[in-house]
Amino acid sequence: GPGTESCVLVTRVLCSEPGARKGRVQQDARGRWLKAAILLLLLSAAAGGGLVAWNRLRSQDGIPEGGIPADGVTEGGIPADGVTEVLAHRSDHLQDKFVQVPCSEDYESHQRFAGCTPRKCGRGVTDAVITREEAERIRRIAERGLSLGGSDGGASILDLHSGALSLGKHFVNLYRYFGDKIQDIFTEDDFALYRDVRQRIQQRIAQVFGISSSAMYLTKPTFFSRMNSTGAKTTHDEYWHPHVDKVTYGSFDYTSLLYLSDYSKDFGGGRFVFMDADSNKTVEPRAGRVSFFTSGSENLHRVERVRWGTRFAITISFTCDPQHRIADPQLSWGDRSPAGGEEPGRKLPL
Ligand SMILES: *[C@@H]1O[C@H](CO)[C@@H](O)[C@H](O)[C@H]1NC(C)=O
Ligand SMILES: *[C@@H]1O[C@H](CO)[C@@H](O)[C@H](O)[C@H]1NC(C)=O
């Protein structure tokens, strides 16, 4: 590249003999000119290298226009020595991206359901199922719901199915807590959009994995998440540990994530990372982007710590086992919610 060329040039100039000794004055003038030229070359090479390094840093961490926040957390980032590939850039508009991986043995220790239990495993990313406008409407539902509660730590969740809402260091049942007042917060349209989005994601997963959409069911936990850079106060806030969804929740067969905000625009850090033996592969969140994958150990993953801003997403989980099926949430549940708003598991499928 140009860097190498300028190095060669610098060496040649430095090593070149002054040649035949002509007039002392002329030589001194040439020497000064050479020194200035070398200095200029070195400076521009250093500036170029610095710019490249800075750009790399920016693209890795999604540093906002205003610069790095004062208490930048580095533990959530991927160490520079590791191998990292980007599966989906925030700026990409992906139609259908799919990477097949061999299925793990996790499915062997569970009952198999014909036409649903994964035979083909892998990961898909698409920006073509949910529009950015729909993602924004869904994000506003999440904002409204989560504004009623919120964890003391950096990770809050709202599960419209069980009613679980983070509040301080615990969870409350949204439906029991707010009763009929829930109808002042959410509308029938909100629930209809939520159901529609869930259905379209389910259909896409079925299509990509070659299974029947009617053979897979929504399961729990399925929830909204809101994450920021505030430190964890309880283990519920520690979303960044590597995990396998099917190990944590045996009923899971397919996990999907719908992102509701943009990496490096709305927040920094917070990328999704598939952790393979040979490399880490990142999915950069983008509003309206759906990331989906089979839930077994073939898809060990983690989420980086959020460094600045606020990250919104929904986890929508599917099972092949009709016994673990859950119903779409209803506005009319009020204080008659079917589930008890129990605490979600320790390792949330994020
Ligand atoms: C993947 O990232 C983790 C940290 O999150 C690191 O320990 C590991 O070495 C990385 N793997 C590779 C293959 O680079
Ligand atoms: C993160 O969210 C919590 C509410 O869950 C809030 O108390 C806290 O101030 C937020 N932190 C930042 C840095 O915005």
Backbone angles phi, psi at 73, to 5 degrees: -90, 130
Q: Model confidence at 17, in pLDDT bands (50, 70, 90)?
A: very low
> Which positions ≥6 away from 84 have C-beta within 8 Å?
78, 279, 280, 281, 282
How far from each other are the two terminal CA atoms of the chain, in whole angstroms?
Answer: 41
Given a contact cutoff of 8 angstroms between Cβ atoms, the answer to whether 246 and 170 are in contact is no
Pocket test for ligand 2, best of 230, 267, 307, 311 (most atoms within 8 A of CB): 230
Q: Model confidence at 338, in pLDDT bands (50, 70, 90)?
A: low
Does 228 contact ligand 2 (Cβ within 6 A)? yes
Q: Which atom of ligand 1 is nearest to the CA of 278?
A: 13
Domain-located, residue 30: yes
Residues 316 and 174 in one domain: yes
Residues 153 and 282 in one domain: yes
Does 279 contact ligand 1 (Cβ within 6 A)? yes
Nearest ligand by distance to the CA of 237? 2
Q: Quick one: which of 262, 280, 281, 270 has its CA closest to 303?
A: 270
For position 313, what pLDDT does the model report? Answer: 98
Residues 34 and 163 in one domain: no
Q: How many angstroms does the Cα of residue 78 sit away from the middle of ligand 1?
A: 7
* Domain with 29 in it: 2-61
Q: Which atom of ligand 2 is nearest to the CA of 310?
A: 14
Does 229 contact ligand 2 (Cβ within 6 A)? yes
Local structure of 160: helix, strand or coil = coil
Residues 123 and 91 in one domain: yes
Q: Cα dihedral sign for 69, 75, 81, 85?
A: negative
Q: How far apart are CA 268 and CA 262, in angstroms?
A: 9
Residues 95 and 186 in one domain: yes
Does 230 contact ligand 2 (Cβ within 6 A)? yes
Residues 9 and 53 in one domain: yes
Q: How many angstroms does the Cα of residue 3 sit away from the middle of ligand 2?
A: 45
- For residues 88-108, give the mean pLDDT: 97
Nearest ligand by distance to the CA of 227? 2
For residues 225 and 236, which has the higher predicted lDDT (pLDDT)?
Answer: 225
Nearest ligand by distance to the CA of 307? 2
Residues 7 and 93 in one domain: no
Q: Give the closest residue (by CA) to ligand 1 atom 14.
A: 82
Nearest ligand by distance to the CA of 167? 2
Q: Model confidence at 38, in pLDDT bands (50, 70, 90)?
A: low
Residues 130 and 232 in one domain: yes
Q: Cα dihedral sign for 334, 315, 297, 78?
A: negative
Domain-located, residue 67: no
- For residues 52-70, give the mean pLDDT: 44
Selected catalytic residue, list 198, 204, 302, 311: 311
Pocket test for ligand 1, best of 60, 73, 78, 305 (most atoms within 8 A of CB): 78
Domain-located, residue 72: no
Domain-located, residue 342: no
Q: Which atom of ligand 2 is nearest to the CA of 150?
A: 5
pLDDT for residue 24 is more than 90 = no
Residues 157 and 111 in one domain: yes
Residues 129 and 33 in one domain: no
Q: Model confidence at 2, in pLDDT bands (50, 70, 90)?
A: very low
For 232-265, the DSSP string reads PSSGGG---S-B-HHHH-TT-SEEEEEE-S-BTT
Q: Is 311 a catalytic residue?
A: yes
Does 151 contact ligand 2 (Cβ within 6 A)? yes
Does 282 contact ligand 2 (Cβ within 6 A)? no
For position 180, what pLDDT does the model report? Answer: 85
Residues 243 and 305 in one domain: yes
Domain-located, residue 100: yes
Domain-located, residue 7: yes
Domain-located, residue 79: no
Provide the mean pLDDT of the chain.
83
For position 348, what pLDDT does the model report? Answer: 78
Does 275 contact ligand 1 (Cβ within 6 A)? yes
Residues 275 and 157 in one domain: yes
Domain-located, residue 104: yes
Biggest alpha carbon distance in the chain?
101
Number of structural domains in the chain? 2
Q: pTM to 2 decimals?
A: 0.78
For position 45, what pLDDT does the model report? Answer: 61
For the domain that residue 162 is a member of, what is the CATH number?
A: 2.60.120.620
Q: Model confidence at 310, in pLDDT bands (50, 70, 90)?
A: very high
pLDDT for residue 304 is more than 90 = yes
Q: Give the closest residue (by CA) to ligand 1 atom 9.
A: 82
